[in-house]
Amino acid sequence: MKSSSRNSLLFWLIGAGMLGLDQATKHWARLRFSLPDGNPDYFKSLPVIGDWLQFRLVYNIGAAFGMKPQSVLPFLSPTLFYALFSCAAMAFLLVYYFRLKSNESASRLGVILILAGAIGNLIDRLHFHKVTDFIDAGIPGVFPRWPTFNVADSSVCVGMGILLLFPILFKSQANPESAPSSPDVG
């Protein structure tokens, strides 16, 4: 098996693992922090690192950071809006993935992580009409805290970071002829 094929398989397995971890942790959070009617019990939380990091359940009916871009097309239900948007984004990412060269491993991994996160949150939207968030991070005594998030959100952010930063940080290594040459001495 060629190295690029092996990397591709590994990246898809990482993506499947992130999707599985996302769904398992969201299920755990809904069981651990819900009232009998399924709504979040806002008085329940689990400190992981004091007030720096804790688990507590919230549902997000909007987009990232609680934004509600579906208000642009108010005739569409939020679930349909996000499903259409997610499917379009995933189609774009898949086309982009298959256009990447086999030596662009970091970019391929970044795309896979974004896809895994998008699929994880889409599953929530289609099943619950909202996204399950449970990771609450912040600086003790400083408000507002960072918006509560989940494993899928983390996967998307790490994937975006890889896509944006790797080409910048490793440009000179990937493209040696673009590096400035030293003047000939002698």
146 touches 108 (CB < 8 A):
no
Interior CA angle at 146 toward 164 and 78, to 5°?
80
Catalytic residue among 22, 133, 136, 184: 133
State how far Cα 98 lies from the chain centre: 20
Query: The dihedral of CA 162, 163, 164, 166: what is its sign?
Result: positive
Both tokens of 50, joined, read 């004091």
For residues 16 and 122, the answer to whether their CB atoms sit within 8 Å is: no
Cα separation, 159 vs 142, in Å, equals 28
Per the annotation, the verdict on 153 as an active-site residue is: yes
| Active-site pick, 22, 124, 136, 153 | 153
Distance CA 87, CA 179 (A): 39
Q: Which residues contact 28 (CB under 8 A, 6 or more apart)?
A: none
Which sequence positions are flagged as catalytic?
133, 153
